[in-house]
Amino acid sequence: MTEFGEHVAAVWQTGAFGISLGQVVAAVFVLLAFLGLRRVFFRFVVASLRTVTKKTRTDVDDLLLAAVEKPLEFGFMVVGIYVAGQIIPTSAPVGEAFDKLIRSLIALTLFWVLFRAVDPLSSFMDRGIAMMGSSSMRDTMKSFFVKLAKFIVICLAIAAVFQEWGFNVAAVLGSLGLVGMAVALGAKDFIANLFAGLTIFLDRMFEKDNWIRTPDVEGMVEDIGFRATKIRRFDKALVTIPNGKLAGEALVNFSRMTNRRIYWTIGVEYRTTHDQLRGIIHDIGEYVNVSGDFELDPSKTETFVFVDAFGASSINVMLYCFTRTTEWKGWLACKERLAYTVKDIVESHGAAFAFPSTSLYVETLPFGKPEPFPLPGQTQPGRAPSS
């Protein structure tokens, strides 16, 4: 047994690749210890910090603490890997590669913290973009700058990792000038869409949640990105259009309407008298003026109620007015109330609405006098009524 124990001890000390099993077990124990320490740290320290941040007036500290939790957990793993790696002896090339790996993980952890902190820190932009006008425009600009900041952080993180592994980032960027023509040709659409997106922001062509119509699509703007804009059609389908296409097309922004128009042609019968026509026009105009549904300021809109034309089957009265509301449901309700009122007014004056009709006048019949055909309850000439 003594000899067997010596063999076990020899294997334990020899291990594999020059690393003893004891060193491997110790490294694993250290890594597990850091994992346990991570749980203790978040259970007590982070929980205490979360209690403190909830008592403050601002929500920025709560959001920042929630943002850095995941990177902190990863940071404990990095420290554990580093300490465990110090226990295991390695050759110079392996040790150098291990050090580069640790520095790369540290860089990724730090930039991960910055990436997740962009959203909470974006609240400090609210005062700077308060002059942008509507709240939707401010939200759109804020979203754009947040995406830009995250993109910059990602680029810096990649550059930092490359730098750790010996890549000369400046030389790589400088060498891009040799293939600048190819890059320009390959990325011209992306660059064009990027500048078109900036044009959309600066010119305020539309904002998030605006109702717009282009020659190709009509719907609500859901998101404005670097390259493209997402529009949710009214059938709930999502359409993605490149910014360059949107910026170069005729675009109608219905959300910028100051008022919403009603333009009707009301056809009444030709037997309607002058007095009836005047009364109908007067009462319709009176309703538009007193109902409160319509904009009456002449500096903003015009309201017209006039006899417009003599149609093929009707005398046409033009009703042209604008509602105060631009919201679709409210506008439909205004139209409905107006339709009921117009119908009551026309009928109250003893007139009626016209409909397409044709009058046929027959001067002579080719086969002589027709045989009389009495209606029910009538009698034909020469016959007694039925009992």
pLDDT one-digit tens code per residue, 134-158 = 555 666 677 777 888 888 888 888 8
Q: Give the N- to C-terminal CA distance of the chain in Å, as an integer.
A: 137
Q: What pLDDT, on the 0 to 100 scale, is given for residue 83?
A: 81
Residue with the larger pLDDT of the pair 104 and 280: 280
Neighbouring C-beta atoms of residue 38, cutoff 10 Å: 18
Q: Torsions phi, psi of 301, nearest 5?
A: -140, 170
Q: What pLDDT, on the 0 to 100 scale, is given for residue 179?
A: 47
Residue with the larger pLDDT of the pair 187 and 276: 276
Task: State the Cα–Cα distance between residues 285 and 118, nearest whole angstrom.
Answer: 57
Residues of the chain with CATH 2.30.30.60: 182-255
Average pLDDT in the 326-343 region? 94
Average pLDDT, the chain: 80
CB under 8 Å to 199, separation ≥6 — which residues? 205, 243, 247
CATH number of the domain at 258-348, out of 3.30.70.100, 3.40.605.10, 3.40.50.2300, 3.40.50.300? 3.30.70.100
Residues of the chain with CATH 3.30.70.100: 258-348
Q: What pLDDT, on the 0 to 100 scale, is given for residue 17?
A: 52
Q: Is the pLDDT of residue 31 over 60?
A: yes
Beta strands in the chain (DSSP E): 211-213, 218-224, 228-233, 238-242, 252-253, 260-268, 304-310, 315-323
Query: Domain 182-255: which topology?
Result: SH3 type barrels. (2.30.30)
Average pLDDT in the 312-323 region? 94
- Of 20, 4, 23, which Cα lies nearest the Cα of 12? 20
Q: Which of 37-41, 97-101, 141-145, 318-322 has the lowest mean pLDDT?
A: 141-145
Q: What pLDDT, on the 0 to 100 scale, is given for residue 178?
A: 45
CB under 8 Å to 380, separation ≥6 — which residues? 372, 374
Average pLDDT in the 281-295 region? 94
pTM, rounded to two decimals = 0.54
